[in-house]
Structure 1
Amino acid sequence: MTPKDDFFGESEELKEILHQFDRLRKGQSHAFLDEEDFEQIIDYFDDRDDLKQAIQAADLGIERFPYSSTLMLKKADLLIATKHYRQALQVLEQAEIYDQSQIHLYLLKTEAYLALGEYDKAVAMLENRIEHFDGEEQMELLLELADVYDDWDQFNQVFDCLVRILKIDPNHEEALHKICFWTEFSGRYEESIKLHQWIIDENPYNELAWFNLGAAYQGLKLYEKAIDAYAYALAIDEKFDYAYRNMADAYMKLRKYDAAIDVLQQQLQVANPEDVIYEAIGLCYEKLKKYAQARHYYRKAYRLSPHDEKLQLRIGLTYMQERNWMNAADALQVALVLNPQMVKCWEALGECMLQLHNEEEAIRCFVKATHLRPSSVQAWQLLIRALYLAGDYEEAYRQSYMAETHTGAKAIYHYYRTAILLAMGKNKEALIQLETGLQLAPRQVKKLIDLCPAVLQRSAVNDLISRYRKKKDS
C-alpha cells in the first residue's frame, strides 16, 4: 500500500499535501508546504482523533513558521485536549506575543485555567482583555467570564456579568435567556425588575424582557403584575410557549384555576402537546373539584408519558375524592408497578383497602410505607389507625412505641394510645396518655375524636379535655 492509499476518500489536493507531509517527517525530499497546508494537516488528524500525529504536525509547522499564532493556537488546543494544560499555556503566551487580536486565544487560555482550577487567573486575564474587543467578540468574552464565575461558584458575579452585557446590548438574546435563570437562582428580583424596565423603555417590543420582568415579579409573589408582563410578551409573540406556562402558574398561585385552564388551552394551540401541560390542566380541574375532567387530562398526560407513576397516583387520588375506592385502588396499583417505592401511593392504597373492608391488605400497605420511610409520622399514624380499626389492639399499642423510636415522641401517638387503652379496658392508663397528649398539643385531640367519636361519651375523658380548654382560654 502506498502512502496515498492511506488517505482514501480525501480530495486529490489534500492527498498530495498529506503525501508530502509523510515524506517530510520521514526525512525524504518533499515539495514545499505552506502555513495553510499545515493547518489542513493538523485538522485532518484532529478530525480522526489521532492527536499524537496532529501535535507532531503542529510542531513541524511551527518549526517552519515560528511566528504563526494560528499554528500555535491549534497546538495549544490539542495540548488541552490531551490534558497538557501547562504546556498549552506556555504555547498560548508565545502566541500572544505575536497576535493579541484572536479571541480564540483567550478562550483557550480560559479553558486551561479552569482545568487547573485557577479561576482567579482566568478572571484577571478576561477582565484585562474584555475592553480590547468590541461588538460580538466583547460579548463572547463577557459570557465566558460569566461561565468562569459559574464554575467557581461565584453566582452573584454571574448575574453581574449578564447585567454588564445587557447594559451594552439590551437585546442580547443569550444574556436575556440566561439572566432569567440567574435572577431566580440568586433571588435578585428587585434588581432584575429595574433592569428589565430599563430595557423595555429602550425597546418596548422586546418580548424576552417582558417575560423576564414577569418572572421577576412572580419571584416576589406579585402575581397580578407578573400576569400583566406575560400578557405584553404574548402580545408581541403569540407563540411564546413559556409565557403561557408562567402565566398559568401565576393564575394557579392566585387560585384562579379557570383562568389558568384558559391560558393552558391557548398554549396547546400554539405548541406541541406535552404531558406537563395536560397534567397542569388536570390539576386545575382537580382543584375545582371537577374530578372526571381532571382524570381526562391526567390520562392524556399519561399517554404521552406512560412511565410517569405520579399521573396514575393523581388519577387514584381523584377517585378517592369521589369515594370510588375500587377504581382508585386499580390506578394506585398501576402506579406501584411503575414505582414500588412511592410511600404516598402505599398510604393511599392502604386507605382504599380499609374502605373496602380489606383490613389485612390495608395493614400490609401501611407496613410497607413505614419500611420505605421510617421517619414518616404520617405512615406510622396510618398503620396504628388501621390496626386499631381492625381490632388488633395489642399490635397497635406495640407499633405506637415502635413509631416513637423512629420519629420521636409525638402527641398523636399518645392520643392513639388513649383510644387503644380504652378499647382494652385500661381506663386509668388511657387518661394518663390523654393528659400527656393534651400537654403536648391540645388542638390535636380532634384526631382522637376522629378515630373514636364515642370517646366523648366518657365523662372522665370529657372532663379532662374541658379542663385543658379552660386553661387555654384563661
Structure 2
Amino acid sequence: MKAYPQEDKDGIDELLKLYNNLRNGHGSFIEEEAFEKIIDYYDEKEEISKALEAAETALEYFPYSSLLLIKKADLLLATRKYHQALETLEKAELFDAKDINLFILKTDVYLALDRQEEAVELLQTAIQNFEGEEKIELLFELADVYDDYEEFDKVFDCLNVILEEEPTNEEALYKICFWTDFTGRNEESIRLHLKIIDEHPFNELAWFNLAAAYQGLKLYEKAIDAYQYAIAIDEKFDYAYRNVGDAYIRIRKYKEAIEALEKVLELSKPEEVIYEAIGHCYDRMHNYAQARFHYRKASHLNAEDSKLYYKIACTYFNEGQWASAAKQLEAALKIHRNQHEYNLLMGECLLQMEETREAVQFLSTAVRVRPRNISGWEALIRCLYLAEYYPEARQQTLSALKHTGGKPVFFYYLSAVLFALNKPKEALLFLEKGLTASPKGVKKLVQLNPAMLQKAQVVDMIARYKRNR
C-alpha cells in the first residue's frame, strides 16, 4: 500500500472531507483533478467499491470526461463487470479516441470475455494510429495477447517489429532472445541482430542475442566470438560467461569452459548447475579429483539431487575405487531406488568387489526397470556367468533375447553359457546364429571368456565365417 508524505496526506484528508460533505448534500464544488486523486486514493487502498462510488459521483459533475470514464472502466474490470466496463470504454472513446489506456483496457476486457480475435484486431488498428513510445507499448500488449493464446510465432513477430522501431529497447531484446530459442527462428534473429549491431556496435544485448542464435544453430565457434564481444563491452555479463561456457563444452574445449564458468561463480551467487558443469569438464579431462570436488559443491547446494551422487560414484569407478563408488551409489539409491543407471553401476561395483550375490540383486533391478536396455542384461548375464550360476545365466539370456528383440550379443552369451553347461551342440548352434546376425559381435564372446578360443570347434566356425565374408 502506498504511504503518503505528510503534506500529501494533509491534502488528501482535506479532499476526502470536501468529498464526504458533497455526498451529504452540503459541500462545495470539487474539481475534476481532485476527483481523480480521490479515486486513486481508494484504488491504492484496495477499497474498490469506494473508488467506484467516487468515480460515479465524479461523472455526475463531469459526464464528458474520458479520463474519469476510463478510471471507472478500470475499476469495473477489477470487479469483473466486463460488459459494463466495455460500455463505459465505448462511451469514453466518443470523447477521446486517442487515449492509449482506452485500448489497453478494452483489450483486457475482450480477453476476459474470451474474444481474442477482437482484441487482436483492436490492437492492430490502434498500432497504426500511434507513434513512438505509445506504439511500442501497444506492440508489447499485442505480444502478450499472442502469448496468452499460444500463437508464439506472432509473439516473435511483434518483438521483431518493436526492435525495427527501437533497436535498443532492452525489454524487447531480453524477450526476443527467449522467443528465438522457443520458436527456433534463429536465422531471422541473426539477420535482425546483425542489423542492430551494424547501427549500435556497442550494444551487448544485441551481441548476446546474436551469439544465442548462432548457438541455437550449433554454430558454436561463431557463438563464442559473439559472446566474447558482449563480454568485452560488459565484463560483468554473467549470462554471456555462462553461455560461452556451454558453447566451449559443446566443442570439447573443457579448459576454456572451466575459465568461463568460474567467472560466472565470481559474478553471481553459487549455483548447483554451474558447479556441476565445471565438474563435468574435469570429468571429461580425466581429472577425477577435481570433478568430485565440484560435484560435491553442487550437492551441498542441492542434497536431494541423486544424479550428483551418481556422478561422484562414476569418478571413483573410473579410478577403480569400487568401495568409495558403492558408498556414493547408496546415497543416490536412497533418493531414487529404482533408477536404472544407479542399480547397474552398483552391480558392476559389487561384481568388482566379488560380492556376486548382491551384484545380481542390483543388476536384476536394473533389467526389471528398463527391460529393453541391452547394457543391463549384458551386465547381469556376465555377472551370473562369472559367478558360475550357469542355469540362471541361461534363463536370463533367453529373457534378454525376448525383451531386446533378439540382439546378436545374446546369441554369443547363450553359446558361452551352453558350453559351460556342457551342451556343445546347442552352443555351436547359437554361436552360428550370432555369427550370421553380427560377425563383429564375436568379440563379446571372447571378452566374456577368452578360453573360448581354445576350443577347436569355435575357432573353426569363426574362421569359416571370416573366409565367407
* TM-score tier (shorter): 0.7 to 0.9
Tell me whether 300-309 or 158-167 shows the greater mean CA deviation. Answer: 300-309
Cα distance in 2 for partners of 1:91, 1:443 equals: 80
In the TM superposition, residue 126 of structure 1 has moved relative to its aligned partner by 1.2
The one-letter code matched in structure 2 to 1:111 is: D
Contact 1:20 1:30 in 2 (8 A): no
In the TM superposition, residue 51 of structure 1 has moved relative to its aligned partner by 4.8
In the TM superposition, residue 397 of structure 1 has moved relative to its aligned partner by 3.1
The one-letter code matched in structure 2 to 1:256 is: K
- Residues 1:418 and 2:428 aligned together: no
In the TM superposition, residue 202 of structure 1 has moved relative to its aligned partner by 0.3
In the TM superposition, residue 107 of structure 1 has moved relative to its aligned partner by 2.3
In the TM superposition, residue 404 of structure 1 has moved relative to its aligned partner by 5.4
Correspondences of 1:362-441 after superposition (within 5 Å):
362-403=359-400, 406-441=403-438
RMSD between aligned alpha carbons? 3.0
Tell me whether 394-403 or 340-349 shows the greater mean CA deviation. Answer: 394-403
Aligned pair in 2 of structure 1 residues 466, 60: CA closer, same or farther (>3 Å)? farther
2:222 alignment partner in structure 1:
225
Tell me whether 356-365 or 57-66 shows the greater mean CA deviation. Answer: 57-66
Cα distance in 1 for partners of 2:158, 2:51 equals: 36
Aligned pair in 2 of structure 1 residues 151, 460: CA closer, same or farther (>3 Å)? farther
1:127 alignment partner in structure 2:
124
2:198 alignment partner in structure 1:
201
Q: TM-score, with normalisation over the residues of structure 1?
A: 0.86
Aligned pair in 2 of structure 1 residues 100, 289: CA closer, same or farther (>3 Å)? same
The one-letter code matched in structure 2 to 1:422 is: F
Q: Which of 440, 448, 462 does residue 451 from structure 1 map onto?
A: 448
Tell me whether 170-179 or 314-323 shows the greater mean CA deviation. Answer: 170-179
Correspondences of 1:457-468 after superposition (within 5 Å):
457-468=454-465
Tell me whether 281-290 or 243-252 shows the greater mean CA deviation. Answer: 243-252
Cα distance in 1 for partners of 2:16, 2:393 equals: 84
Q: Which of 223, 226, 235 does residue 238 from structure 1 map onto?
A: 235
Partner of 1:131: helix, strand, or coil? helix
2:3 alignment partner in structure 1:
none
Tell me whether 105-114 or 221-230 shows the greater mean CA deviation. Answer: 105-114
Contact 2:359 2:383 in 1 (8 A): yes
Residue-by-residue CA offset, 1:217-259 (whole Å, 9 max, x unaligned): 2222222222211111111111111111222222222211122
1:309 alignment partner in structure 2:
306
Cα distance in 2 for partners of 1:65, 1:396 equals: 92
1:29 alignment partner in structure 2:
25
2:327 alignment partner in structure 1:
330
2:255 alignment partner in structure 1:
258
The one-letter code matched in structure 1 to 2:125 is: N
Q: TM-score, with normalisation over the residues of structure 2?
A: 0.86
Aligned pair in 2 of structure 1 residues 421, 168: CA closer, same or farther (>3 Å)? same
2:316 alignment partner in structure 1:
319
Residue-by-residue CA offset, 1:182-238 (whole Å, 9 max, x unaligned): 222222222222221111110111111111122222222222222211111111111
Cα distance in 2 for partners of 1:380, 1:114 equals: 56
Cα distance in 2 for partners of 1:38, 1:440 equals: 88
1:343 alignment partner in structure 2:
340
The one-letter code matched in structure 2 to 1:430 is: A
Partner of 2:168: helix, strand, or coil? coil
In the TM superposition, residue 64 of structure 1 has moved relative to its aligned partner by 4.9
In the TM superposition, residue 437 of structure 1 has moved relative to its aligned partner by 3.6
Correspondences of 1:97-112 after superposition (within 5 Å):
97-112=94-109
Tell me whether 461-470 or 292-301 shows the greater mean CA deviation. Answer: 461-470
Aligned pair in 2 of structure 1 residues 451, 105: CA closer, same or farther (>3 Å)? farther
Cα distance in 2 for partners of 1:72, 1:432 equals: 91
Q: Which of 63, 66, 69 does residue 66 from structure 1 map onto?
A: 63
Tell me whether 414-423 or 323-332 shows the greater mean CA deviation. Answer: 414-423
Tell me whether 206-215 or 145-154 shows the greater mean CA deviation. Answer: 145-154
1:296 alignment partner in structure 2:
293
Tell me whether 42-51 or 413-422 shows the greater mean CA deviation. Answer: 42-51
> Sequence identity of aligned pairs in percent?
52
2:173 alignment partner in structure 1:
176
Correspondences of 1:209-220 after superposition (within 5 Å):
209-220=206-217
Partner of 2:264: helix, strand, or coil? helix
Cα distance in 2 for partners of 1:325, 1:93 equals: 76
Tell me whether 143-152 or 64-73 shows the greater mean CA deviation. Answer: 64-73
Tell me whether 279-288 or 376-385 shows the greater mean CA deviation. Answer: 376-385
Partner of 2:129: helix, strand, or coil? coil
Contact 1:239 1:271 in 2 (8 A): no
Name the count of aligned residue pairs. 461
Unpaired runs of at least 5, structure 1: 1-9
Residue-by-residue CA offset, 1:61-107 (whole Å, 9 max, x unaligned): 54554333334334433444444444433333333232233323322
Aligned pair in 2 of structure 1 residues 407, 114: CA closer, same or farther (>3 Å)? farther
Tell me whether 149-158 or 49-58 shows the greater mean CA deviation. Answer: 49-58
Contact 1:69 1:95 in 2 (8 A): yes
Contact 2:238 2:263 in 1 (8 A): no
The one-letter code matched in structure 2 to 1:150 is: D
Cα distance in 1 for partners of 2:14, 2:187 equals: 63
1:354 alignment partner in structure 2:
351
